[in-house]
Structures are given as structure tokens and as C-alpha cells.
Chains A and B, each alone.
Chain A
Amino acid sequence: MREEQPHYWRSLEERGASPEALQAAHDELKPGTLAPADSPVTGISRRNFLGLVGATAAVAATAACDKSGKAFVVPYTKRPKEVVPGVANFYASTFPEGTRSYSVLVKTREGRPIHITGNDEHPGLKGKTSPRALADILRLYDPERLRGPKLQGHSATWADAEKVLNTAIANAKQAGKAILLLTGASTSPTRKALLAELKAALPTLEHLAWEPALGEGAQEAATAVFGTSLQLKPRLENAKVILSLGADFLNGEDPEAIAAFTSQRRPAEPVKTMNRLWVFEGPLSLTGSNADQRFPVPPSRLAALGFALAKDLGLPLPAGAQLASLPAPADIPAEAWRKLLEDLRSAGSGAVVLCGAAMPAEAHVAAHLLNTMLESKCLEVRPAEPLAGLRDLEAARKDMASGKYAAAIFWGVNPVHAFPDAEAWNAALAKVTTRVWVGLLEDESAAGCALVLPEHHWLEAWGDHEDGALLTLQQPTVGALYDTRQGEEVVLAILRGLGAAAAEDYRAYLHDRWAKDVHRGPVPFERFWQAALHDGFVKTDAKTLALPAFRGDAVKAMAEQARKTSGAFELMLRPGTQVFDGRYGNNGWLQELPDPITKATWGNPLAISVADAKFLGLQDGDRVELAVAGRQLSLPVLLQPGQAKGVLALALGYGRTVGGVAKGIGVNAFPLIDMQSPCPNLIHDVKLTKGKGRTQIPFTQNHHRMDGRDLVHSSSLVEFAKVKKKPAADLATLYPDLQFPEHKWGMVIDLSACIGCSTCVLACQSENNVTTVGPEQVAKGREMHWIRIDRYYEGSEENPRVVHQPMLCQQCDHAPCENVCPVNATNHSPDGLNQMAYNRCVGTRYCANNCPYKVRRFNFLEFTAYKTEPESLVYNPEVTVRPRGVMEKCTFCVQRIQDARIRAKAENRPVLDGDIVPACAAACPSQAIVFGDLKDPKSLVTQLSRTRRGYKVLEEVGARPAITYLADLKNPALEVGE
């Protein structure tokens, strides 16, 4: 839609690099998990009956390609009531992730979970969820999961393990010695109550809840300014102006925020007003890439910027707040500053200032100050448990070293990986008599513990979680796969050992507590309970918390702190987009999910600004030496357009040393953290020198500019108002027009709504059994994702405009791929789909050459090594598993289309608009993807495809794609970019 061509620039091209042989056993055949252990089904025993049925369903799906063995399909003789083969069951549950939890719906087939979506009944989420929630189903079937307790490295029974544990605890109690319990954060009130009971029975228990990757600035600021730790959840439905100080709120972790933000960004006809997002940040984040107006600012200067804004805002300061005179940051043009103040003032309570978790406390204080001054109505206050910081952990370490603790229990944390001084930690740990580890996958910390207790995966476990005015429930969706217990049941076992009355299992405990504390209303509790499990949540009377009074006197000190400047380089450490704090390192889906901005996979290169890289003579992949206070790290760099000069960014959670998939991927950034610093995630005085050699970074996209091609229509709201819709190009064609008797399936993808979070990529992978290929194969260009998000930069390297474009099979009417397949393996269906017959494909790959969108994926090697359990259990039985030598691509989730058509036929009605939701459309938190019948004039997809923003990609090739893209409109404050 642009009338004038934007200025494009030289790209940051990948050069041929010699790949570094990565340490881990990443042979090409590795899927998301270890190379398959040959564990054949050992025979039909009554016990394994159901297991066998589950297995054979998976094997039956792979039988076409598995030439090796025959499998037996055994029917039930006595079918369990719940399971109808071929019909899916759904369970509501909750995915816990430290300080967050996500209400989800889990689809199971033949008794085993295969797909996760958001809970559709949840009033806020409305069926959406985070990318990591979708991907975590793979961890249920991780072959490295502990299958039973271990004592001194040997298998043990739970009875033995409990005896050892309880003896140690009893001894400790008798001797009056302290016991350390180190856990991750949790949003579960019942677990909190249980731990309180434990504390009551064991007064010397010291419980630390620790989230190593999140940073400590938010908690410190909240405590300083509000007197208590709290969580501020953005509520952007009515936000007119959003100012982000390094806050990546669009990164997928908060689907409600994404939905609310994008709901105001789909200008319909006539064009309504759009909200406006201002972003000031150091590295380029996903939120920054969707900003209407963005400025690269080093994170250490964001606080000063915030305070300067408060000073210039012209609104009354809260009582006691004093702001010393701070100059406006020099890099912000005066005009932009003026416009920002204008926006904030005119939006008033419809404005909100968000601050990134990794930012220092003073930046958070500045944000709180601004929100208070603006009386922002766009934040929801939620209580947050006070978390331990690094100083608390260092104190605990010292105590361990001094022999204070008789026992230490680690549950859901990995301090050997995440504590900055691992050696000191291990040395201190050695002084603790009894060391217990509770977790799912053995990690670096389990190695040092004599007692290793395997816990359930959350899909096998009970729980409840606070979610604002809701209380969500977590229930098992499958019986425990192995001899594991829920972590809370270890606590119950300890309580029993101490002689305190304890429920027999956690379900009973939860059930009883809910009967006592949660049950409300006239409905008898059992009905209430069943309904709650059915829905996945209940509404509580928790009133919306008001923001506590702002303590103005804290401002002065914080503003002083904001004056500090940094040396040549400052290093920002943030949780990995994919692996978070490292806990998902063994999840191949997440490792191979391209970072939404860098498109790098399988590792954490050091992001550096283009200007700095040029100065140092660095290219993508060149190795550098990072020196921080005596510690050194050698790693590859990645040139990041839009990153502020002088800023380095590195993801935490990599450099694991345990885990078949996680091992050796990336570098461990945790040791760089300065424990004494008030803001451990932002490190000043970093030295960077060029190193030797180069590591090939496995990118899924190597070229980052559109080169003058009209692929993503992107313009500003103002410009777009002047543009008239061009009629569809009348291209001559040799091919006859296709007739579609009943339906013609099509799609609309709204680029204004798409933020590039890549949740759709994971949903598609889960639904369609898309395999992972490993870092060497990604580097060669053989990743298998059926949908990808193309990310292009426009404009300058210092502060580019960024556009995201989901690209999937366009199901072209005149598909170039269909003509050229010599064996007719791909052809067109009467309802508009380009069909791919895997069985017929011999693999000449002509179709992929002829696809102008390059959405076809070829199985270059036997990537689907999930031939054995447990990995093969994650497969969706409705979708073929493709063997080596076969081409595959997006099918518009044809299995869902057929499912809907069959149901409609059975119910004697036509297929209705909205019956069919492909996995990507279901997962997209901003509803950017709409699917439907283009032959139905009333369907949403038809109406959207006719709007003025609609266009087709590569229309001039004449393939007649069935997907209409809606142009991306931004709402910049300034006339010309920057």
C-alpha cells in the first residue's frame, strides 16, 4: 500500500561458515528427545492393556512407513467407559510456570494427552495460551524422565525413599537443626497452605521460593514504593497509549494482553482510532518490533528517561516525591518527546506505563510513578508471593557451608545451573547431610543429591492456581506414566513422618481444602467440585485489589540511582524466549522454535548492535570473549538491527550440561550475574573482545529485507486512509477456472493483529506431528515447520521498522506445485485444498522448487525417529507420520475439516462458519488467523477478504492463493519514521 518506496539497506547476509561440531550427540536423526531407546512392547499383560492400545494406535499410524516390525492391533475386551477409540476426550487443567499459570484444555486420544490449547471457557483467555504451554506436552513423554525414585544412584521404592527422607527430617528436628527447602515460585494457594502446615510441623524449616531468571527489580521497586510485593497485570482493552520501558508484554507469555492490545489495532471501515504503543528498550524485543514508535535506549538509562517524563508531564507528583533535575535522554528527538508527553496527557487514565522484569528497580519505580500520576486504569493489581533474591540465596549458601542445614530439599529449581557461583554452591552443598531433589527430569542439581524423587508432570497432577478473580484447577489428564508422585505428596509424606495428620494424597488434601475454604453458594460441594473440574476454574469473590498508596519518599533515592551510567558495554540478561530459565532445555520443539526476532534456534548467541559490530569487525557467528568481573565466556555474536549502541543481550537458560537434548546447546549466562549488584540481570562494565573462529548459528531465516518486493503491505493509519483499494489484477492464464461445488476453504491473516509470537508454529507442530531436526539440519536449511513467521526489517539499521508475516501453504487455485509432480502426489480437492498424498510421493522435490512461497518441507532424512514409546505417544493419530523421502506441507488441518464435516453430516446440518478452526487459528492469541468458507458470502473470512486492507502475496505469479493478507497498519506519532 505504500506509494513511495521505503529505503532499504544492505542486509546482514549469512556467509558460508564452517559449522562447529556441537558437543551433544546431535546426530541428524534426533527428534525432540533422545535417540530412541529400543524399548519394544513386551507383551500383553493386563497391566499394559491400555498402554498397548495407546501404543498400537500410534504404531498403526506409523505402520505405513515402519517396514521393520509388525504390530498387533488389539481391541478392548472390556472397554473403559471413558474411552471411545477415535473420539477425543478433553480435560480442563492448568499449566503452572512459576509466577504465572495458564488455564488450558487438554485433548486426549485413547487415554493419552496429545494436544494443548487454552481453556475456551476461561473468560479472559478465551481459548488462548502461551507458546510454552503448548510445547510442554512433549515433556510428558520425554524418555529421560525419571521412572522411579533413586537412592545413591540406584533405583529405590517410594517406601524406602520416604523412610530415608523422614529419618533425616526426624533427626534434624530432634537436633534442632535447620532444613532448607528451595522451590520455584508457585501461584497455588493450596500448596501455600500445605507448606504453611509443614512449617508449623517443622519450625526450623526455611523455605525460599526462587525464580532465577526473572530479575529482582520489580519486587524491590514494589516493596519500596507500595510496601508489599505485588504483580501488575496489564489490562489493555481500553488503553489508548501504552509506554513500554523495556517491557516485552507481547512476547506470548500474556495472551490476554496480546488479545487486548491487538483488539484495538484492526481498523475496520470506516477507520476507527487505534491505540499507540511507544517502546523504549535496549535490545529489539517482540514488543518493540510491533511498536508504533520505538527508540533504542540502553536499559541503564530507562529509569532516567522515566523520571524525566514524570518531571515534564506537568501532572501533580504524589506526596513526598522529589525529582532532581534530570536531563531528557539525548537520543530522543525533541519532537518525539513532545509528542509522547502529549499522548500521555491526553490519554490520562487510558495511558499505561509498563516496565520490563529484567529492568532495574529504579526503572520500575519510574513506571509506578507515572502510572500513579496518570491514574492509569489499565493495570490489574494482583498479590505476589515475595520471592527470594540472589542475596538470600547467597546467604543460604553460606549457611549450607557452615553446616547449618541438616537437610536440603530442592523442588522445581536448578541452582547448580542457575546460581552464579556453581562451584561454591556445590562445595557448600556437600556440607549438607541429606540432600533431596524433587523434579521431573534429572538436571545438574539432581547429580549432587543422594535422594532423587521423581514428580508427576503437571498433566498427571492435581493443583489449583490463583488467577485474579478466578481460581483455576489443575487435574490429571492421564494416569501417571511412571512410578512418580506429585511434589506436594512428598510434603505430605514428610508431614506424616512428623506425626502430623495428613491427607492420604494431594487430591484428597485439595478436595478437602476446597470444601472448606473455596466452596461457596447453594450447590452441594460435590457438584460444585465436579463443575469446577469440568470448567477448569471457579469465580471467587476476591475483590479487585486497589493499588496501595504510593510512597513518594522512595522516589528520591531511586532517581539518584538512575543517574548512574554504564561503561562501554552493558549486558542485559533475560530469560530465554524458548527455554525460559533452562527448564525446557530438553524440549526439542522449543529449542527449534525460531526466536521471533532473531530467527535463531538451538542456542543463545550474544546480541550486539550493528554499529558496535561494525566497529569491532564482527559478523554473525563470529566468536567473542565476554569478560565480566573476572569471569569469561566465549560465545558467538548475532548482529541485531534496532539494538541500542553499547548494549549486549544474552538469553539465560542455555549451556545446560545434563539432558540429551539440552546438553551443550548455547552457553550458560548465569555465571555472569553479579550477586552483589542491585540489578543482577543488568551488568555494567562488560568487556568484549573479538575471539577466534566462527560458530554457525542455526537460523531459520538468513535474509532480512524485502529488497523492494511488495510482500508485506505496511503503512501508517494516516497514509492508508488515502489509499484506494486496487482491483484484483486480471492476469491471463492458461488454466481453466476451478469450480468448487460446495465449499471453498480460505483464510485471512491480519498482519495488523499478528505480532509474530510464533504460538501458531508450535500449535501446528503439535497438531500435525511436525518433527524437529536438530541444530545441524536447521543450519543446513531443513527445518520442518509447516507455518513460519517471516520477519523483515525496513529502514535504518539503528532503528528499523519490523514486519511479521505468517507464511504457510497458500492452497493456490492454480498451484504451481500441482502441475509438476510426476506421480500426481499433489492435486486439488473439490473444496479448494491443495492435497498432499504422502503415500504417493516419491520425492522428486519439483513441487518445492515450483512453490514461490517455499512452504513445502521435505524429509531429507529419517527425521521421524519417534518410532518407539514414549516419544511416539505424543503423535496425533489423525495425521500421518511422514517417512524419509516424502514432501509435506500445511493442509489447512484437513483432519479438522473432515471432522467438522462428518459431525455436520451426522447431525444433518450444514457446516457452520466457525465449526472448523485450524490449529494455528485456534492458538493465535490475537485472532490474526481466520479460516472459513469463501463460498459463503456471510462467513467472516469472506467479509474480511473483501476489505480495503486485503491483498494477496505474490499475486503477480498467478497462482491464485486462497489466503488473503490484511495490511499491517501502524499508528506512528511522528510523520516520517524514527
Chain B
Amino acid sequence: MELKGRRTILGNLAALLAAPFFMGRATLIRALAPAAKKNSPLPPRISLPAHSVKRRG
């Protein structure tokens, strides 16, 4: 019983230390390196309208 108790405690510690490996890559990456490069769709381009007349600036 005592051994079981010891084992439980050590098990808890091990779980705590091993947790990062089980969190999943996505969570880990988000925590450590947020801007992972992926295939991105075409980004929007901001350009001025060619023939519009503005009201005031």
C-alpha cells in the first residue's frame, strides 16, 4: 500500500513533467511559436480606388 502511494506520487510528478508532450503539437506550437507558416491564400491588397472622388480628407 505504501509502495502504491509512493508510486502514485511519482506518477503524478511524471505526468506533470510529461504533460507538454501530450498537449498536442498544435497547442504546443501555439504556446511557443505562434506564427507557423502555412500555405496562405492570396492576401488582400489595399489600393486606392482609381476614379472615385472623395468628400473630404
Contact = CB atoms under 8 A, between A and B. Distances in A.
So, do A and B actually touch in the complex, CB under 8 Å?
Answer: yes
Interface of A: 37-42, 47-48, 50-51, 53-55, 68-69, 80, 82-84, 87-92, 105, 110-112, 141, 147-148, 460, 475-483, 507, 530, 533-536, 869-870, 873
Contact of B42 (A83, A479, A482): A482
B5 interface: no
B45 A47 contact: yes
Contacts of A478: 46-49
Contacts of A91: 49, 52-55
Contacts, number: 112
Nearest to A531: B53
A40 B37 CA distance: 7
B1 to A, nearest CB: 40
A89 B57 CA distance: 4
Main secondary structure of the interface of A (DSSP, over half): loop
Contact of A530 (B47, B53, B57): B53
Nearest to A120: B55
Given A82-B54, A480-B47, 5 more contacts: A37-B41, A80-B48, A89-B54, A460-B49, A479-B50
**The 9 nearest A-B residue pairs measured at CB:** A479-B47, A39-B40, A68-B34, A476-B49, A533-B53, A54-B46, A481-B44, A90-B55, A475-B52
Nearest to B49: A476
Interface in B20-45: 34-38, 40-45
A39 B47 contact: no
A50 B45 CA distance: 7
A111 B35 contact: no
A110 B55 CA distance: 15
B6 interface: no
A481 B45 contact: yes
Given A69-B35, A80-B48, A475 B43 contact: no
A441 to B, nearest CB: 14
Contacts of A873: 44, 46
B4 interface: no
Contacts of A460: 49
A153 to B, nearest CB: 15
Given A38-B38, A40-B35, A40-B37, A477 B52 contact: yes
Contacts of A482: 42, 44-45
Interface of B: 34-38, 40-57
A526 to B, nearest CB: 11
Contacts of B34: 68-69
Contacts of A48: 43, 45
A41 B44 CA distance: 10
A84 B57 contact: yes
A535 B42 CA distance: 34
Contacts of A147: 41-42
A776 B30 CA distance: 23
B47 A50 contact: yes
B54 to A, nearest CB: 5
27 contacts: A38-B36, A38-B38, A40-B35, A40-B37, A50-B45, A51-B43, A51-B44, A53-B46, A55-B46, A68-B34, A82-B54, A88-B57, A90-B54, A90-B57, A91-B53, A111-B46, A111-B48, A112-B46, A476-B49, A478-B47, A478-B49, A480-B47, A481-B44, A481-B45, A533-B53, A534-B53, A870-B44
Contacts of B47: 50-51, 111, 478-480
Given A38-B36, A40-B40, A68-B35, A479 B51 contact: no
Contacts of B44: 51, 141, 481-482, 869-870, 873
Given A39-B43, A42-B43, A69-B34, A475 B48 contact: no
A42 B46 contact: no
B47 to A, nearest CB: 3
Contacts of A148: 42
B41 A39 contact: yes
Contacts of A477: 49, 52
A704 to B, nearest CB: 41
Contacts of B38: 37-38
A48 B34 CA distance: 23
Contacts of A50: 45-48
B35 A38 contact: yes
Contacts of B36: 38
A475 B49 contact: yes
A477 B34 CA distance: 34
Contacts of A111: 46-48
Nearest to B34: A68
Contacts of B54: 82, 89-91, 534
Contacts of B50: 476, 479
Given A68-B34, A84-B57, A110 B49 contact: no
B28 to A, nearest CB: 14
Nearest to B46: A54
A761 B49 CA distance: 30
A52 B52 CA distance: 22
B38 to A, nearest CB: 5
A51 B45 contact: yes
Nearest to A87: B57
Nearest to A147: B42
B57 to A, nearest CB: 5
A37 B42 contact: no
Nearest to B44: A481
A953 to B, nearest CB: 38
Contacts of B40: 37-40, 42
A479 B37 contact: no
B7 to A, nearest CB: 37
B48 to A, nearest CB: 5
A507 B43 contact: no
A496 B43 CA distance: 31
A662 B47 CA distance: 29
Contacts of B37: 38, 40
A117 to B, nearest CB: 11
Nearest to A532: B53
B31 to A, nearest CB: 10
Contacts of A84: 57
Contact of B48 (A82, A90, A141, A869): A82
A54 B48 CA distance: 11
Contact of A533 (B41, B48, B52): B52
A456 to B, nearest CB: 11
A481 B46 contact: yes
A233 B34 CA distance: 54
